[in-house]
Protein backbone atom coordinates (compact mmCIF):
# COMPACT_ATOMS: atom_id res chain seq x y z
CA UNK A 1 0.00 0.00 0.00
CA UNK A 2 1.37 3.40 -0.99
CA UNK A 3 2.53 5.81 1.72
CA UNK A 4 0.56 8.92 0.80
CA UNK A 5 2.94 11.12 2.78
CA UNK A 6 5.81 10.45 0.38
CA UNK A 7 6.46 13.30 -2.05
CA UNK A 8 9.54 14.30 -4.03
CA UNK A 9 9.80 17.25 -6.41
CA UNK A 10 12.59 18.45 -8.71
CA UNK A 11 11.97 22.21 -8.51
CA UNK A 12 12.14 24.76 -11.28
CA UNK A 13 11.87 22.70 -14.45
CA UNK A 14 11.58 24.77 -17.60
CA UNK A 15 7.91 24.73 -18.69
CA UNK A 16 6.89 22.74 -21.74
CA UNK A 17 4.19 24.61 -23.63
CA UNK A 18 3.25 26.15 -26.96
CA UNK A 19 3.96 29.78 -26.07
CA UNK A 20 6.44 30.09 -28.96
CA UNK A 21 4.52 29.61 -32.22
CA UNK A 22 7.70 28.77 -34.15
CA UNK A 23 8.89 26.10 -31.69
CA UNK A 24 6.11 23.64 -31.06
CA UNK A 25 7.67 20.21 -30.44
CA UNK A 26 6.66 18.80 -27.06
CA UNK A 27 9.45 16.27 -27.37
CA UNK A 28 12.02 18.93 -28.23
CA UNK A 29 11.05 21.15 -25.31
CA UNK A 30 10.92 18.20 -22.89
CA UNK A 31 14.49 17.25 -23.81
CA UNK A 32 15.62 20.88 -23.43
CA UNK A 33 13.91 21.10 -20.02
CA UNK A 34 15.42 17.83 -18.78
CA UNK A 35 18.93 18.72 -19.96
CA UNK A 36 18.75 22.23 -18.51
CA UNK A 37 17.86 20.66 -15.17
CA UNK A 38 20.98 18.49 -15.46
CA UNK A 39 23.18 21.53 -16.02
CA UNK A 40 23.41 21.50 -19.81
CA UNK A 41 22.94 24.62 -21.92
CA UNK A 42 21.29 23.62 -25.17
CA UNK A 43 18.82 25.36 -27.45
CA UNK A 44 15.59 24.08 -28.90
CA UNK A 45 17.06 24.47 -32.38
CA UNK A 46 20.06 22.30 -31.55
CA UNK A 47 17.90 19.58 -30.02
CA UNK A 48 15.41 19.52 -32.86
CA UNK A 49 18.14 19.21 -35.50
CA UNK A 50 20.61 16.95 -33.68
CA UNK A 51 17.78 14.58 -32.76
CA UNK A 52 16.81 14.23 -36.43
CA UNK A 53 13.28 15.37 -35.67
CA UNK A 54 13.52 18.34 -38.03
CA UNK A 55 13.85 15.93 -40.96
CA UNK A 56 10.61 14.03 -40.28
CA UNK A 57 7.30 13.68 -42.03
CA UNK A 58 4.56 11.55 -40.51
CA UNK A 59 1.01 10.55 -41.46
CA UNK A 60 -1.46 7.67 -41.16
CA UNK A 61 -2.17 6.41 -44.67
CA UNK A 62 -5.86 5.73 -44.05
CA UNK A 63 -6.71 9.21 -42.84
CA UNK A 64 -5.87 12.06 -40.50
CA UNK A 65 -4.91 11.51 -36.88
CA UNK A 66 -3.98 14.50 -34.67
CA UNK A 67 -1.24 12.39 -33.07
CA UNK A 68 0.60 11.77 -36.33
CA UNK A 69 3.26 14.31 -35.32
CA UNK A 70 4.20 12.36 -32.19
CA UNK A 71 7.82 11.24 -31.97
CA UNK A 72 6.71 7.73 -30.97
CA UNK A 73 6.17 7.08 -34.70
CA UNK A 74 9.92 7.52 -35.26
CA UNK A 75 11.33 5.95 -32.10
CA UNK A 76 14.89 5.68 -33.43
CA UNK A 77 15.06 9.44 -32.84
CA UNK A 78 14.89 9.03 -29.07
CA UNK A 79 18.05 6.98 -28.32
CA UNK A 80 19.84 8.96 -31.02
CA UNK A 81 18.92 12.25 -29.30
CA UNK A 82 20.44 11.30 -25.98
CA UNK A 83 23.48 9.63 -27.51
CA UNK A 84 24.21 12.86 -29.37
CA UNK A 85 23.85 14.83 -26.15
CA UNK A 86 26.03 12.46 -24.13
CA UNK A 87 23.45 10.74 -21.92
CA UNK A 88 22.58 7.10 -21.35
CA UNK A 89 18.86 6.27 -21.33
CA UNK A 90 16.57 3.28 -21.26
CA UNK A 91 13.16 3.28 -22.89
CA UNK A 92 10.41 1.29 -21.21
CA UNK A 93 6.94 0.26 -22.29
CA UNK A 94 4.31 0.35 -19.51
CA UNK A 95 4.09 -2.98 -17.73
CA UNK A 96 3.40 -3.72 -14.08
CA UNK A 97 2.20 -0.62 -12.27
CA UNK A 98 4.43 -1.11 -9.23
CA UNK A 99 7.52 -1.67 -11.38
CA UNK A 100 6.84 1.39 -13.53
CA UNK A 101 6.06 3.53 -10.50
CA UNK A 102 9.25 2.46 -8.72
CA UNK A 103 11.43 3.23 -11.76
CA UNK A 104 9.95 6.71 -12.11
CA UNK A 105 10.15 7.44 -8.38
CA UNK A 106 13.78 6.27 -8.20
CA UNK A 107 14.69 8.55 -11.10
CA UNK A 108 13.00 11.57 -9.51
CA UNK A 109 14.63 10.76 -6.15
CA UNK A 110 18.00 10.82 -7.94
CA UNK A 111 17.30 14.24 -9.45
CA UNK A 112 16.67 13.00 -13.00
CA UNK A 113 13.42 14.06 -14.70
CA UNK A 114 11.51 11.38 -16.63
CA UNK A 115 10.06 11.80 -20.12
CA UNK A 116 6.84 10.01 -21.06
CA UNK A 117 5.69 9.49 -24.64
CA UNK A 118 2.12 9.04 -25.86
CA UNK A 119 0.40 9.08 -22.52
CA UNK A 120 0.18 10.06 -18.86
CA UNK A 121 -1.55 13.21 -20.08
CA UNK A 122 -3.78 11.78 -22.79
CA UNK A 123 -3.14 12.94 -26.38
CA UNK A 124 0.31 14.26 -25.50
CA UNK A 125 3.38 13.69 -27.61
CA UNK A 126 5.69 14.02 -24.61
CA UNK A 127 5.50 15.04 -20.95
CA UNK A 128 8.33 15.88 -18.61
CA UNK A 129 7.81 14.43 -15.13
CA UNK A 130 9.49 16.41 -12.38
CA UNK A 131 7.94 14.95 -9.25
CA UNK A 132 5.51 12.61 -7.59
CA UNK A 133 3.10 12.79 -4.67
CA UNK A 134 1.07 10.39 -2.56
CA UNK A 135 3.71 7.70 -2.76
CA UNK A 136 3.83 7.77 -6.55
CA UNK A 137 0.06 7.61 -7.04
CA UNK A 138 0.24 11.13 -8.50
CA UNK A 139 2.83 12.35 -11.04
CA UNK A 140 3.82 16.02 -11.42
CA UNK A 141 5.20 17.74 -14.49
CA UNK A 142 4.68 19.89 -17.56
CA UNK A 143 2.85 19.38 -20.84
CA UNK A 144 0.97 21.74 -23.19
CA UNK A 145 -2.32 19.92 -22.55
CA UNK A 146 -2.30 20.52 -18.79
CA UNK A 147 -4.84 23.37 -19.02
CA UNK A 148 -7.34 21.53 -21.23
CA UNK A 149 -10.00 20.25 -18.88
CA UNK A 150 -11.36 17.57 -21.20
CA UNK A 151 -7.87 16.08 -21.08
CA UNK A 152 -6.78 16.91 -17.57
CA UNK A 153 -9.20 18.23 -14.95
CA UNK A 154 -7.13 18.18 -11.73
CA UNK A 155 -5.94 21.41 -10.07
CA UNK A 156 -2.27 22.10 -10.62
CA UNK A 157 0.29 21.42 -7.94
CA UNK A 158 1.63 24.27 -5.78
CA UNK A 159 4.81 24.07 -7.89
CA UNK A 160 2.84 24.92 -11.04
CA UNK A 161 3.28 21.38 -12.36
CA UNK A 162 0.26 19.34 -13.40
CA UNK A 163 -0.98 16.69 -10.99
CA UNK A 164 -1.97 13.46 -12.67
CA UNK A 165 -3.72 10.71 -10.76
CA UNK A 166 -4.47 7.39 -12.44
CA UNK A 167 -1.51 8.02 -14.69
CA UNK A 168 -1.01 4.34 -15.46
CA UNK A 169 -4.29 4.35 -17.40
CA UNK A 170 -5.34 2.14 -20.28
CA UNK A 171 -4.49 4.74 -22.94
CA UNK A 172 -0.91 4.91 -21.70
CA UNK A 173 -0.62 1.13 -21.73
CA UNK A 174 -2.40 0.39 -25.01
CA UNK A 175 -1.56 3.35 -27.27
CA UNK A 176 2.14 2.63 -27.63
CA UNK A 177 3.07 4.77 -24.65
CA UNK A 178 6.63 4.70 -23.33
CA UNK A 179 8.74 6.35 -20.65
CA UNK A 180 12.39 7.36 -20.78
CA UNK A 181 14.70 6.98 -17.81
CA UNK A 182 17.91 9.05 -17.94
CA UNK A 183 20.80 7.29 -16.19
CA UNK A 184 23.61 9.80 -16.48
CA UNK A 185 26.35 11.03 -18.75
CA UNK A 186 28.32 8.94 -21.20
CA UNK A 187 31.44 9.79 -23.17
CA UNK A 188 30.55 12.65 -25.50
CA UNK A 189 31.00 12.21 -29.21
CA UNK A 190 33.21 14.60 -31.13
CA UNK A 191 31.29 17.27 -33.00
CA UNK A 192 32.31 15.65 -36.27
CA UNK A 193 30.93 12.23 -35.26
CA UNK A 194 27.81 13.84 -33.84
CA UNK A 195 27.08 15.63 -37.11
CA UNK A 196 27.93 12.58 -39.19
CA UNK A 197 25.57 10.26 -37.28
CA UNK A 198 22.80 12.86 -37.39
CA UNK A 199 23.04 13.37 -41.14
CA UNK A 200 22.94 9.62 -41.70
CA UNK A 201 19.73 9.45 -39.67
CA UNK A 202 18.39 12.52 -41.48
CA UNK A 203 18.92 10.88 -44.88
CA UNK A 204 17.01 7.84 -43.64
CA UNK A 205 14.14 9.93 -42.25
CA UNK A 206 13.81 12.05 -45.40
CA UNK A 207 13.58 8.91 -47.52
CA UNK A 208 11.12 7.38 -45.08
CA UNK A 209 9.61 4.00 -44.47
CA UNK A 210 6.16 2.43 -44.30
CA UNK A 211 5.26 0.69 -41.03
CA UNK A 212 1.78 -0.77 -41.17
CA UNK A 213 -0.57 2.12 -41.89
CA UNK A 214 2.00 4.71 -40.91
CA UNK A 215 3.96 6.61 -43.54
CA UNK A 216 6.88 8.94 -43.06
CA UNK A 217 9.48 10.67 -45.18
CA UNK A 218 8.79 11.14 -48.89
CA UNK A 219 5.65 8.99 -48.80
CA UNK A 220 4.41 10.83 -45.71
CA UNK A 221 4.49 14.21 -47.44
CA UNK A 222 2.83 12.72 -50.52
CA UNK A 223 0.00 11.08 -48.61
CA UNK A 224 -0.59 14.22 -46.54
CA UNK A 225 -1.03 16.25 -49.73
CA UNK A 226 -3.44 13.62 -51.09
CA UNK A 227 -5.51 13.60 -47.90
CA UNK A 228 -5.85 17.39 -47.99
CA UNK A 229 -7.56 17.16 -51.38
CA UNK A 230 -10.04 14.45 -50.42
CA UNK A 231 -13.63 15.19 -49.40
CA UNK A 232 -13.94 16.28 -45.76
CA UNK A 233 -17.10 16.15 -43.66
CA UNK A 234 -15.58 17.55 -40.48
CA UNK A 235 -14.11 21.07 -40.85
CA UNK A 236 -13.12 21.16 -37.18
CA UNK A 237 -11.20 17.89 -37.45
CA UNK A 238 -9.51 18.87 -40.70
CA UNK A 239 -8.26 22.19 -39.35
CA UNK A 240 -7.10 20.58 -36.11
CA UNK A 241 -5.05 18.07 -38.08
CA UNK A 242 -3.50 20.80 -40.24
CA UNK A 243 -2.40 22.67 -37.11
CA UNK A 244 -0.95 19.49 -35.62
CA UNK A 245 0.98 18.68 -38.80
CA UNK A 246 2.49 22.16 -38.75
CA UNK A 247 4.54 21.15 -35.71
CA UNK A 248 6.67 19.04 -38.04
CA UNK A 249 6.96 21.68 -40.76
CA UNK A 250 7.85 24.42 -38.25
CA UNK A 251 11.02 22.60 -37.26
CA UNK A 252 12.38 22.48 -40.79
CA UNK A 253 13.14 26.20 -40.73
CA UNK A 254 16.15 25.54 -38.46
CA UNK A 255 17.87 23.04 -40.73
CA UNK A 256 19.66 25.45 -43.07
CA UNK A 257 21.48 27.11 -40.15
CA UNK A 258 22.34 23.69 -38.75
CA UNK A 259 23.82 22.52 -42.05
CA UNK A 260 25.87 25.68 -42.52
CA UNK A 261 27.14 25.26 -38.97
CA UNK A 262 28.64 21.92 -40.01
CA UNK A 263 31.10 23.53 -42.40
CA UNK A 264 33.72 24.14 -39.70
CA UNK A 265 33.86 20.40 -39.02
CA UNK A 266 33.58 19.36 -42.67
CA UNK A 267 35.39 22.02 -44.74
CA UNK A 268 35.95 19.41 -47.45
CA UNK A 269 32.18 19.20 -47.93
CA UNK A 270 31.37 22.89 -47.62
CA UNK A 271 29.93 23.06 -51.13
CA UNK A 272 27.65 20.09 -50.50
CA UNK A 273 26.46 21.53 -47.21
CA UNK A 274 25.76 24.91 -48.80
CA UNK A 275 23.70 23.32 -51.57
CA UNK A 276 21.69 21.31 -49.04
CA UNK A 277 21.24 24.41 -46.87
CA UNK A 278 19.97 26.34 -49.89
CA UNK A 279 17.32 23.63 -50.33
CA UNK A 280 16.19 24.17 -46.76
CA UNK A 281 16.11 27.93 -47.33
CA UNK A 282 13.46 27.13 -49.92
CA UNK A 283 11.68 24.86 -47.43
CA UNK A 284 11.61 27.73 -44.91
CA UNK A 285 10.08 30.08 -47.47
CA UNK A 286 7.46 27.48 -48.34
CA UNK A 287 6.64 26.98 -44.66
CA UNK A 288 5.90 30.72 -44.47
CA UNK A 289 3.72 30.41 -47.56
CA UNK A 290 1.52 27.85 -45.83
CA UNK A 291 0.32 30.42 -43.28
CA UNK A 292 -0.74 32.74 -46.09
CA UNK A 293 -2.94 30.04 -47.62
CA UNK A 294 -4.62 28.86 -44.42
CA UNK A 295 -4.60 31.10 -41.35
CA UNK A 296 -3.09 29.63 -38.20
CA UNK A 297 -4.98 31.80 -35.69
CA UNK A 298 -7.97 29.42 -35.27
CA UNK A 299 -10.30 31.64 -37.33
CA UNK A 300 -11.06 28.81 -39.81
CA UNK A 301 -11.94 26.37 -36.99
CA UNK A 302 -15.69 26.12 -37.55
CA UNK A 303 -16.11 26.84 -41.23
CA UNK A 304 -15.21 24.63 -44.18
CA UNK A 305 -11.91 25.34 -45.88
CA UNK A 306 -12.31 25.88 -49.59
CA UNK A 307 -11.00 23.25 -51.99
CA UNK A 308 -8.82 25.83 -53.76
CA UNK A 309 -7.12 26.62 -50.44
CA UNK A 310 -6.53 22.95 -49.70
CA UNK A 311 -5.26 22.30 -53.21
CA UNK A 312 -2.78 25.18 -53.02
CA UNK A 313 -1.70 24.03 -49.57
CA UNK A 314 -1.15 20.50 -50.88
CA UNK A 315 0.97 21.86 -53.74
CA UNK A 316 3.25 23.59 -51.24
CA UNK A 317 3.60 20.37 -49.21
CA UNK A 318 4.74 18.58 -52.39
CA UNK A 319 7.26 21.34 -53.07
CA UNK A 320 8.63 20.98 -49.52
CA UNK A 321 8.90 17.23 -50.13
CA UNK A 322 10.84 17.77 -53.33
CA UNK A 323 13.26 20.30 -51.81
CA UNK A 324 13.93 17.94 -48.91
CA UNK A 325 14.55 15.13 -51.35
CA UNK A 326 16.99 17.33 -53.27
CA UNK A 327 18.83 18.18 -50.04
CA UNK A 328 19.08 14.48 -49.27
CA UNK A 329 20.49 13.80 -52.73
CA UNK A 330 23.32 16.24 -52.00
CA UNK A 331 24.00 14.96 -48.48
CA UNK A 332 23.89 11.26 -49.19
CA UNK A 333 26.79 11.44 -51.66
CA UNK A 334 29.27 12.62 -49.03
CA UNK A 335 27.73 11.63 -45.70
CA UNK A 336 25.84 8.37 -46.17
CA UNK A 337 27.78 6.48 -48.80
178-232 pLDDT tens trace: 999 999 999 989 999 999 999 999 999 999 987 778 899 999 999 999 999 998 8
Indicate if the pLDDT at residue 337 is higher than 80.
Answer: no
Domain 8-185 -> CATH class: alpha beta
Dmax (CA) of the chain = 64
What whole-number distance in Å separates Cα of residue 168 and Cα of residue 101?
9
Indicate if the pLDDT at residue 101 is higher than 80.
Answer: yes
Identify which of 189, 167, 142 has the alpha carbon closest to the alpha carbon of residue 30: 142
Radius of gyration of the chain (CA): 20
Q: What is the mean pLDDT of residues 115-134?
A: 92
Label each residue of the chain as H, E or C.
Answer: CCCCCCCEECCCCCCCCCCCCCCCCHHHHHHHHHHHHCCCCCCHHHHHHHCCHHHCCEEECCCCCHHHHCHHHHCCHHHHHHHHHCEEEEEECCCCHHHHHHHHHHHHHCCCCEEEECCCCCCCCEEEEEEEEHHHCEEEEECHHHHCCCCCCCCCCCCCCEEEECCCCHHHHHCCCEEEEEEEECCCCCHHHHHHHHHHHHHHHHHCCEECCEEEHHHHHHHHHHHHCCCCCCHHHHHHHHHHHHHHHHHHHHHHHHHHHHHHCCHHHHHHHHHHHHHHHHHHHHHHHHHHHCCCCCCCCCCCCCHHHHHHHHHHHHHHHHHHHHHHHHHHHHHCC
The full set of domain ranges for the chain reads: 8-185, 212-335
Query: Using an 8 Å Cβ cutoff, are 170 and 305 in contact?
Result: no
Counting residues of the chain whose pLDDT is more than 70, the rounded percentage is 96
What whole-number distance in Å separates Cα of residue 62 and Cα of residue 213?
7
User: pTM, whole model, 2 decimals?
Assistant: 0.95
Mean pLDDT of the chain: 93
What whole-number distance in Å separates Cα of residue 18 and Cα of residue 91?
25
∠ Cα 219 289 322 (to 5°): 30
The pLDDT tens digits of the residues spanning 289-310 come to 999 999 998 876 667 889 999 9
Confidence of residue 150 (pLDDT cuts 50, 70, 90): low
Q: What is the mean pLDDT of residues 132-143?
A: 96
The pLDDT tens digits of the residues spanning 252-293 come to 999 999 999 999 999 999 999 999 999 999 999 999 999 999
Burial group, residue 36, by CB count within 10 angstroms (0-12, 13-18, 19+): middle
CA 191 to each of CA 86, 185, 198: distance values in angstroms, whole numbers, following the listed order: 11, 16, 11
Amino acid sequence: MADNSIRTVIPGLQPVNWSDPARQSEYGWSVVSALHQLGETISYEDVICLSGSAFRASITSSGFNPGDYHVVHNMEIVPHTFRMLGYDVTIHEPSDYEIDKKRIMNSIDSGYPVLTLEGVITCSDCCIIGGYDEGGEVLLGYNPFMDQQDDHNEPHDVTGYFRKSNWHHRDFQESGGKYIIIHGQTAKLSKRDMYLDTIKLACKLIKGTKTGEHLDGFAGHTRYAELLCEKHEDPFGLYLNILCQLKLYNDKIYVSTFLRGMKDEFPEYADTLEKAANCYDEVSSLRCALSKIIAEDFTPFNKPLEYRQLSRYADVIIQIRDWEQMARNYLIIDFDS
